[in-house]
Chain A
Amino acid sequence: MVNMKRMTALLLSIVLVSVLSACGSNNNNANSTGSTNSSAPGSTDAAKGAEPPKAVTLKGMLFGDEPKDLDVVLQEFENRTKDTLNTKLDISWNSSADHKQKVKLMMAAGEEVDFVFDADFQNLRELVPQGAYAQLDEYFNNDDYPGLKAAFSEEFIEMNKRYDNHLYTIPFTQYFYDLPVVYIRKDLREKLGFNEPITSYDELQQFYDKVLSSEPGVTPLALRGSSGFQEIWAPERAELDTVRPLTLGGIVYYIHLSDDLKTVQNVVAMGDAAESWATLPAPFDTMKTAFPQYDKWAEWSKYLEKDILSQKDHKSYFMSGKAASYYGTISSYAADKKLLKETIADADLEFFVLKDRIRNMEPKAIATNYKANNSIAIPASSKNIDRTMKFFDWLFQSRDNHDLFELGIEGVHWEAVGEDQYNLLDASDNYMFPGYEFTWNPTMIRTSADLDETAKKYFEYSADPDSYYAPVLASFSFDTSNVKGEFANVQSKADPFIQMLKAGQIKDWESELQALNKELQALGLETIRQEIKAQVQAYLDAGGK
C-alpha cells in the first residue's frame, strides 16, 4: 500500500516535471531537439548504472486488429526491461480505413502521441514537409544506440531519407521486393499430365490451354479486377540509364535523360504521338516495343473469368477451387498453402516466379530504391523522442527482443527452429502482430520452418543485398502538391481505361491510348509533364542519381 502511494507520488512528480520542462522548451523547436539530444548520453549512463531511468509511458498509434495476447507480451516486455528502459507502451489501434485521417487530425490538433505508423501511402508525403515529424538522423549510426546501428545499415538509412536529405522515419522492411509469382494448383498440374513444375511462360500457357480444354468450369488464371495482370509478361530487357519510367496516377511517363545523366531531355507519356516516341532510343522508340506486354495481356484475357473487372477477391475465388492459378507475391506462400490445404483436401500449392532473371536467381536482378514501404514516424511534438528511440534501439538489439514483439512469447506462441526459422504453435492465433508496422528488419528475418526448399531459396535470395541494384532516378519521388487539380483530373479520366487495359480487355490499345491522351491533354497532362521535368531536373541538380 505504502509502496503504491510512493509509486503514484513518484509518477505524478515525473509527469509534472516533464510537463514543466516541455513547457519551457516549447517556445523553440530547434532548441528542444538540441536539449533532448544532450541528455541522451546521460540516460544511457543511467541505464548502465543501478538506477533505472524515470518511468515513462509511450503512446502510439498503429492500425489493424489488436493482437489478443498483446497484453501478455507487453507484460513480458516490462518485466524484462524494468531496470533498463522502465518504459510502458500504450498502443491504440485504428481501423485501417480511418488511420490516415486520424493521424492527420491528431497532428493538426497537436495531440500528444510518441509514435505513429505512417508511410508514403498514408500521410508521410504531406506531413513531413509541413514539419509534423521529428528528424531522426542522429539516432542512427550512433554508438549510443547500438541496436539501431547494427540493424539499419548506412545505405538503408541513406535511401530512406526524404526530400531535404533528412530521415523522418524508422523504416521497416524485410525484403526490398516481394517477388511476384503465379500460384498454381500443383495437384491439378499433375492431374493434367504436366509432371515437372512449370518453369517458363510457354509451359504456363500450355497448362492454361489444357485447363481450358479438359477442366470445364475452372478458370485458368484468377486476377483481381482492379489490378489485372500487373507483372505478368513484364518485358525482360536490359535497363537503360537514360530512359527511366515513372508511373503517376496509372499513366506511365518515360523520362529521357542526357547521356551524362545531368539534364532531362524530354518526358514522353503513354499515348503520345509516334514522333515523340521516336526520339527515345530503342526499344522505347515505339509504344509497341516499349509496352510489349499489352498485346500479351489482350491475348491472355481468354484465360480469365468473363466478369474479371468485377473480381474483388481473386484469392478466395481460387481457394474455392474455381481457378487453376492466381496472381500473388511470394510472402504469402506459407499462409496460402495452409489455407488451400484446409479448404480443399488433396490440393497443393506451388509457384512460378514471373521474371526470368529472378527465377534464375541472378545477382543484381531486382531494381529497388531501397525505400521501405512501411515505417514509424515520431511527431515533433512528442516529449519522449529519446525514450521512444531507446525503445526501438532495445527492440533491435537482439533477436530475443525483436521476436518477442514480432512473434510473441517463445514456447507459447512460437518456437525457434535453428537460427532463423520458426514454427507457429497453437496459441499463435492469439498473437498475429503486424510486423510491418513495428518490427520488420532485413537483419532479423525468421522464415517458417515448414516452407519447402525452393521457397526457402527464394526467400534467401530476396534477403541477399546482392540481388538488388538501384537504377537511375530510383529515389526520385514526385510531389503532386503543385498540380493537385490536374493530377486528380488526369487520374480519374485515365483510371477506367488503365484498369481495362490491365485486365487485358483492350485489343487495339495503341490507338485507344492515343485517343485517351488527347483527352488528357485538355485536362492538364502538359502541366504535369512540365512539372515532372522541373522536379526531376531539380533532383538531378541537387546531386540526386
Chain B
Amino acid sequence: MSEATASALTPQEATKKRGKFAAFIYELIKNKFLYLLALPGMLWFFVFAYLPMVGIIIAFQDFKAMKGILGSEFVGLKNFQFFFRSGDWIQIVTNTLFLNTLFIVFNTLAAVVIAVMVTELGGKWFKKITQSVMIFPHFLSWTVVAMFVMAFVATDGGFINQFIALFGFEPIQFLSSPGYWPLILVLLKIWHGAGFGSIVYMATISGINPDIYESASIDGASRFQKIRFITLPLLKPTVILLTILAVGGIFNGDFGMIYAIVGRNPMLYPTTDVIDTYLFRSMMDLGDMSMSAAIGFMQSLVGFILVLTVNAIAKKVAPESAIF
C-alpha cells in the first residue's frame, strides 16, 4: 500500500521536474503490458490507415502509373480546378449536402422512434419478428432495390400509377420529374436503414436503469411521460454521438444508392446528382487517378472540418456527449 502511494507521487513530481516527455516514458514503462496489448491495433492503424495517406500526394500530381508516385510530375492544385471550373459544382455540392442532411435527420428520427416503439411493445415473439422485419431491408443491395423502385414509379404500368389510374387521375411521370426525388430517396433511405440504425438505440434503452422507470410509475407517470422525460433525455448522448459520426461523411454522396436507382437519367440530375455520381460520370472515360484523388481528398477534408465543427457545437450544448 505504502509502495503504491510512493509510486503514485513520483510521476507528479517527475512531471514538474523533468517535463512531459519523461512522464510519457515513465507511463509507457509502468503500463508496458497494457501498451503491448494495444500495440497490434496501433500497428494495424499505422500500416493500413496512416501509411497509405502518403498516397494522397497523387492528388497534387499528374500521376502516371509507370512513373509511380515518386516519379510523376507535381502539378500543385491543378487537379482541383476541373471540379470548380464548371458552374455545376455549386448545384452538385448543394444536392450532396441537402440529401445527406435529409438522410441524417430523418434516419435518426425514424431510428429513435422505432427503437422507442419496439421497446414499448409487449409480447416477446411479436417484438422479435417486428425487429427482424425492420432490419431486413438493410441487407438488400441497392441494385435489387432499384428494380423494385422501377416497378413502383414506372409511368407505364408502375404500381403507383396503376393505383392513381384507378381513381381516374393522369399518371405521374416520376422518372422525368426531379422534384419528387428527394422525397423518394429519403423514404427509401428510411425503409432501408432506419431499422438497422435503431439497434444501437435499443441497446442504449435496454441499458437504462429500470429503477428509474419504476419510481416514475410510483409517482404516477404515464407511458408517454416516461418516454418524454426518461427515455429520450437518456438517448440524447447516443444521438449526438452518432450524428457527429454521420456528419463526417456528409460530403460523400451515397453513390451505391443513387447510381443504382437514378443511374444515368439526366432528367433527374437537377436534384439527385451528387459529388460522387458526377465524378464517376466525368472520370469514366478519362480514368484519371489524380483528378479523382483530388476530389476524394477534398471530400475527406471538408468532412473532417465538419466533424470538428459539430463536435465543438456539441461541446457547448451538451458537453457530456462530445467525442473530444
A: which residues have CB within 8 A of B?
Answer: 100, 104-105, 107-108, 123, 126-127, 130-132, 217, 219, 225-226, 249, 305-307, 309-310, 312, 480, 484-485, 487-489, 491-493, 495-497, 499-500, 505, 519, 522-524
The answer to whether B66 has its CB under 8 Å from any CB of chain A is: yes
- B171-184 toward A: CB 8 Å interface, digit per residue (1/0)? 00101100000000
The answer to whether B97 has its CB under 8 Å from any CB of chain A is: no
Asked whether B265 lies within 8 Å of A485 as measured between CB atoms, the reply is: no
B239 CB contacts on chain A under 8 angstroms: none
Q: A307-B154, A307-B155, A492-B88 are in contact. List 16 more A-B contacts (CB 8 A).
A: A123-B65, A126-B65, A126-B287, A219-B156, A225-B265, A305-B156, A307-B156, A309-B175, A309-B264, A309-B266, A310-B263, A485-B82, A488-B286, A488-B288, A491-B282, A523-B86
Instruction: Tell me the complex Cα distance, A219–B66, Å.
Output: 50
Min Cβ gap A186→B in Å is 24
The answer to whether B32 has its CB under 8 Å from any CB of chain A is: no
Instruction: Tell me the complex Cα distance, A382–B186, Å.
Output: 52
B65 CB contacts on chain A under 8 angstroms: 104-105, 107-108, 123, 126-127, 130, 132
B: which residues have CB within 8 A of A?
Answer: 64-68, 78-79, 81-82, 85-88, 150, 154-157, 173, 175-176, 263-267, 269, 278, 281-283, 285-289, 291
Q: Across the two chains, which residue of chain B brings its CB closest to A312?
A: B263
- Can you give 6 A-B contacts (C-beta < 8 A)? A108-B65, A217-B157, A480-B286, A488-B82, A496-B269, A500-B267
Asked whether A131 lies within 8 Å of B278 as measured between CB atoms, the reply is: no
Min Cβ gap A461→B in Å is 32
- The 8 A-B residue pairs with the shortest CB-CB distance, nearest first, are A496-B266, A130-B66, A492-B282, A108-B65, A306-B155, A485-B82, A307-B175, A309-B265
Instruction: Tell me the complex Cα distance, A131–B66, Å.
Output: 8
Instruction: Tell me the complex Cα distance, A484–B64, Å.
Output: 13
Among A107, A131, A487, max chain B CB count under 10 A is at: A487
Asked whether B81 lies within 8 Å of A225 as measured between CB atoms, the reply is: no
A306 CB contacts on chain B under 8 angstroms: 155-156, 173, 175-176
Instruction: Tell me the complex Cα distance, A217–B156, Å.
Output: 8
Instruction: Tell me the complex Cα distance, A488–B291, Å.
Output: 10
In the complex, which of the residues A127, A493, A495, A497 contacts B66, with contact meaning CB atoms closer than 8 Å? A127
A505 CB contacts on chain B under 8 angstroms: 267
Q: Across the two chains, which residue of chain B brings its CB closest to A503?
A: B266
Asked whether B281 lies within 8 Å of A130 as measured between CB atoms, the reply is: no
Min Cβ gap A482→B in Å is 11
Instruction: Tell me the complex Cα distance, A500–B278, Å.
Output: 17
Asked whether B285 lies within 8 Å of A484 as measured between CB atoms, the reply is: no
Min Cβ gap B272→A in Å is 12
Q: Across the two chains, which residue of chain A brings its CB closest to B282?
A: A492
Asked whether B64 lies within 8 Å of A126 as measured between CB atoms, the reply is: yes
Instruction: Tell me the complex Cα distance, A219–B156, Å.
Output: 10
Asked whether A307 lies within 8 Å of B176 as measured between CB atoms, the reply is: yes
Min Cβ gap A518→B in Å is 12
Min Cβ gap B174→A in Å is 8
- Asked whether A491 and B85 contact (CB < 8 A) given A130-B66, A309-B266, the answer is no
A217 CB contacts on chain B under 8 angstroms: 156-157
Instruction: Tell me the complex Cα distance, A132–B175, Å.
Output: 45
B67 CB contacts on chain A under 8 angstroms: 130
Min Cβ gap A505→B in Å is 8
Min Cβ gap B258→A in Å is 13
Min Cβ gap A110→B in Å is 9
Asked whether B266 lies within 8 Å of A497 as measured between CB atoms, the reply is: yes
B87 CB contacts on chain A under 8 angstroms: 519, 522
B283 CB contacts on chain A under 8 angstroms: 488
Asked whether A492 lies within 8 Å of B173 as measured between CB atoms, the reply is: no
In the complex, which of the residues A131, A310, A480 contacts B175, with contact meaning CB atoms closer than 8 Å? A310
Asked whether B68 lies within 8 Å of A108 as measured between CB atoms, the reply is: yes
Q: Across the two chains, which residue of chain A brings its CB closest to B64?
A: A130
Among A100, A310, A312, A505, max chain B CB count under 10 A is at: A310
Among A123, A126, A491, A496, max chain B CB count under 10 A is at: A496
Q: Across the two chains, which residue of chain B brings its CB closest to A306?
A: B155
In the complex, which of the residues B85, B88, B155, B289 contacts A485, with contact meaning CB atoms closer than 8 Å? B85
Asked whether B266 lies within 8 Å of A500 as measured between CB atoms, the reply is: yes
Min Cβ gap B280→A in Å is 10
Q: Across the two chains, which residue of chain B brings its CB closest to A219?
A: B156
Instruction: Tell me the complex Cα distance, A306–B265, Å.
Output: 12
Min Cβ gap B290→A in Å is 9
Min Cβ gap B171→A in Å is 8
Asked whether A492 lies within 8 Å of B86 as measured between CB atoms, the reply is: yes
A499 CB contacts on chain B under 8 angstroms: 264, 266
B269 CB contacts on chain A under 8 angstroms: 496
Min Cβ gap B224→A in Å is 45
A484 CB contacts on chain B under 8 angstroms: 82, 286, 288, 291
Q: Across the two chains, which residue of chain A brings its CB closest to B261?
A: A310
Q: Across the two chains, which residue of chain B brings its CB closest to A250?
A: B285
Min Cβ gap B134→A in Å is 29
A225 CB contacts on chain B under 8 angstroms: 263-265
Asked whether A310 lies within 8 Å of B66 as measured between CB atoms, the reply is: no
A127 CB contacts on chain B under 8 angstroms: 65-66
Asked whether A309 lies within 8 Å of B64 as measured between CB atoms, the reply is: no
Q: Across the two chains, which residue of chain B brings its CB closest to A227?
A: B264
Asked whether A489 lies within 8 Å of B66 as measured between CB atoms, the reply is: no
- Asked whether A309 and B267 contact (CB < 8 A) given A485-B85, A489-B86, the answer is yes
Min Cβ gap A278→B in Å is 30
B82 CB contacts on chain A under 8 angstroms: 484-485, 488-489
- Asked whether A492 and B278 contact (CB < 8 A) given A226-B264, A485-B291, the answer is yes
Min Cβ gap A218→B in Å is 10
Instruction: Tell me the complex Cα distance, A226–B281, Å.
Output: 12
B281 CB contacts on chain A under 8 angstroms: 492, 495
Min Cβ gap B230→A in Å is 48
Instruction: Tell me the complex Cα distance, A487–B86, Å.
Output: 11
Asked whether A310 lies within 8 Å of B286 as measured between CB atoms, the reply is: no
Asked whether B81 lies within 8 Å of A485 as measured between CB atoms, the reply is: yes
A107 CB contacts on chain B under 8 angstroms: 65-66
Instruction: Tell me the complex Cα distance, A445–B87, Å.
Output: 51
Min Cβ gap A168→B in Å is 13
A519 CB contacts on chain B under 8 angstroms: 87
Min Cβ gap A94→B in Å is 15
Instruction: Tell me the complex Cα distance, A144–B1, Å.
Output: 90
Instruction: Tell me the complex Cα distance, A104–B292, Å.
Output: 15
Q: Across the two chains, which residue of chain B brings its CB closest to A505?
A: B267
Instruction: Tell me the complex Cα distance, A219–B157, Å.
Output: 12
Q: Across the two chains, which residue of chain B brings its CB closest to A485?
A: B82
In the complex, which of the residues A130, A219, A309, A493 contacts B86, with contact meaning CB atoms closer than 8 Å? A493
B266 CB contacts on chain A under 8 angstroms: 309, 495-497, 499-500
Min Cβ gap A116→B in Å is 13
Among A100, A108, A519, max chain B CB count under 10 A is at: A108
Instruction: Tell me the complex Cα distance, A127–B278, Å.
Output: 26
